[in-house]
């Protein structure tokens, strides 16, 4: 009698640490099968009138510990082999470097030459990172990725051994505060001692997976609206070209609604959630829309400033992917329709806004138990797909 070989199953735990919440997705991946989404946990950090960084960090660590404890209790036999921990602003600092070498005499591209370029750029980046992240313990390098080579004006996957006068190299570098990384690492090792742990910045995680799904010739933008921060990523010609962020997120809408309607933050959050879910009465819905109108204008001005900086050299791509817990909010979608934004795009028209839903990933990941219309689950699914493909890469 012949017995079929049991397919090796791998459990992957994806943490998404944002500016106002911590999410965790548990996945299962078997050989030659698409991954399965087993469970999703999400904890909001306390919503305060005037949050500060220390407050956010303290509660983020607490949320990671709580989620880990609950996963142990409910999935004792399904502990992760790999933990893919994605950091959003304010947890990381990143920079894309475009290095150019232009010599009169022909030279050969070697691994030693590229390694020396990487070493020099990493040293410069580390200095900036230490100033930006301001941690007495220093910084932890998350990524140092060679995204693209151009030899004699032509993109090339493997430049080594080529003779040239001109070499261009695009490098993505990211770092986090060393104390924060060590604390999170200690928490996770306490609960999941045998798991391989990988820290990664959200821009690079999304860049790799979205570039396989969104591929317009002129590139695309990603706007991820977190609770306290909005992040913008520019992807063009196969390169994560630049990132911007500003301290303005969905929580500001809730704070303004609470102030306008004279209610507590908790009540305003409940009201806004009901509105997004379509459970709001018409009269109350009008009040919320009116209260959020000024916030929309403010968000547009901050976004316009970031877009202006990103498009200072050449016009921006026409395609814009919107992500985050408010991706399904009509309020925010209307904010993106501002005629002012058309002046930044390559066609001089408003952005073509792409808003994924879980059903868009049905051929890539099994999503039983996930609301297939809930756009708030788009980001967790994208990060899950990234983790499955890249979670074990060095």
For residue 330, how many C-alpha atoms fall within 13 Å in the half-sphere facing its CB? Answer: 11
Helix (H) or strand (E) holding 131: helix 111-133
Enter the CATH code of domain 93-177.
Answer: 3.30.1490.110
Q: Alpha-carbon dihedral of residues 367, 368, 373, 378, nearest 10 degrees?
A: -30
Q: pTM of the predicted model, to two decimals?
A: 0.90
Strands 352-354 and 220-225: unpaired
pLDDT in tens, 142-194: 999 999 999 999 999 999 999 999 999 999 999 999 999 999 999 999 999 98
Phi then psi for residue 12, to 5 deg, are -125, 125
Closest C-alpha to 31, from 3, 6, 2, 4? 6
Collect the ranges in the chain with pLDDT lower than 70.
1-7, 77, 271-293, 325-333, 394
Superfamily for 220-354? ATPase, nucleotide binding domain (3.30.420.40)
Please list, in sequence order, all residues whose beta carbon lies within 8 angstroms of the beta carbon of residue 351, skipping any fewer than 6 positions away: 221, 318, 319, 320, 336, 341, 345
Distances (CA, A) of 273 to 289, 328, 379: 13, 11, 18
Please list, in sequence order, all residues whose beta carbon lies within 8 angstroms of the beta carbon of residue 184, skipping any fewer than 6 positions away: 17, 61, 64, 85, 199
Closest C-alpha to 204, from 175, 245, 169, 172? 172
pLDDT at 297: 80
Burial (CB count <10 Å: 0-12, 13-18, 19+), residue 4: exposed
Per domain, the residue ranges of the chain are 9-81+358-390, 93-177, 220-354
pLDDT at 7: 61
Between helix 202-210 and helix 378-390 the angle, nearest 10°, is 80
pLDDT at 2: 44
Closest C-alpha to 71, from 96, 38, 103? 38
pLDDT at 284: 53
Is 47 in contact with 251 (CB distance < 8 Å)?
yes
pLDDT at 338: 78
Same fold, 9-81+358-390 and 220-354: yes
Phi then psi for residue 100, to 5 deg, are -125, 135
Domain covering 9-81+358-390 assigned CATH 3.30.420 in the classification: yes
pLDDT at 78: 73
Closest C-alpha to 88, from 230, 299, 214? 230
pLDDT in tens, 260-296: 777 787 777 776 666 555 544 544 556 666 666 677 7
């Amino acid at each position: 009698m012949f017995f079929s070989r049991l397919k090796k199953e791998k459990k992957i735990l994806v943490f998404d640490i944002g500016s106002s919440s911590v999410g965790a997705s548990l996945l299962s991946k078997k050989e030659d099968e698409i991954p399965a989404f087993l469970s999703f946990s999400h904890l909001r950090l306390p919503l305060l009138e005037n949050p500060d960084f220390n407050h956010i960090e303290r509660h983020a660590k607490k949320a990671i510990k709580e989620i880990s404890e609950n996963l142990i209790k409910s999935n004792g036999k399904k502990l992760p082999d790999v933990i893919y921990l994605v950091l959003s602003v304010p947890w990381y600092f990143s920079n894309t470097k475009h290095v150019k070498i232009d010599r009169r005499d022909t030279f050969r591209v070697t691994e030693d030459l590229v390694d020396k370029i990487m070493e020099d750029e990493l040293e410069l980046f580390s200095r900036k990172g230490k100033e930006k992240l301001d941690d007495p313990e220093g910084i932890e390098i998350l990524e140092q990725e060679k995204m693209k080579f151009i030899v004699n004006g032509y993109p090339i996957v493997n430049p080594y051994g080529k003779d040239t006068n001109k070499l261009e190299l695009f490098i993505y570098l990211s770092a986090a505060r060393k104390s924060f990384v060590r604390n999170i690492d200690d928490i996770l090792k306490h609960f999941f001692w045998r798991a391989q742990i990988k820290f990664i910045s959200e821009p690079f995680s999304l860049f790799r997976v979205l570039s396989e799904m969104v591929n317009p010739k002129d590139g695309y933008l990603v706007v991820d609206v977190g609770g306290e921060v909005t992040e913008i990523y520019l992807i063009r010609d196969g390169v994560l070209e630049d990132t911007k962020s500003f301290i303005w997120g969905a929580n500001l809408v809730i704070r303004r609604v609470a102030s306008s309607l004279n209610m507590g933050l908790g009540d305003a959050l409940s009201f806004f959630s009901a509105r997004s879910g379509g459970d709001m009465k018409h009269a109350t819905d009008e009040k919320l829309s009116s209260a959020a109108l000024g916030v929309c204008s403010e968000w547009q001005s901050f976004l316009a400033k970031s877009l202006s900086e990103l498009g200072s050299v050449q016009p921006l791509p026409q395609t814009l992917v919107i992500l985050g817990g408010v991706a399904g909010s009509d309020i925010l979608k209307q904010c993106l329709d501002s005629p002012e934004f058309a002046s930044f795009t390559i066609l001089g028209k408003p952005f073509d806004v792409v808003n994924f839903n879980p059903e868009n990933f049905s051929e890539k990941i099994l999503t039983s138990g996930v609301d297939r219309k809930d756009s708030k689950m788009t980001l967790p699914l994208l990060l899950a797909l990234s983790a499955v493909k890249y979670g074990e890469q060095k």
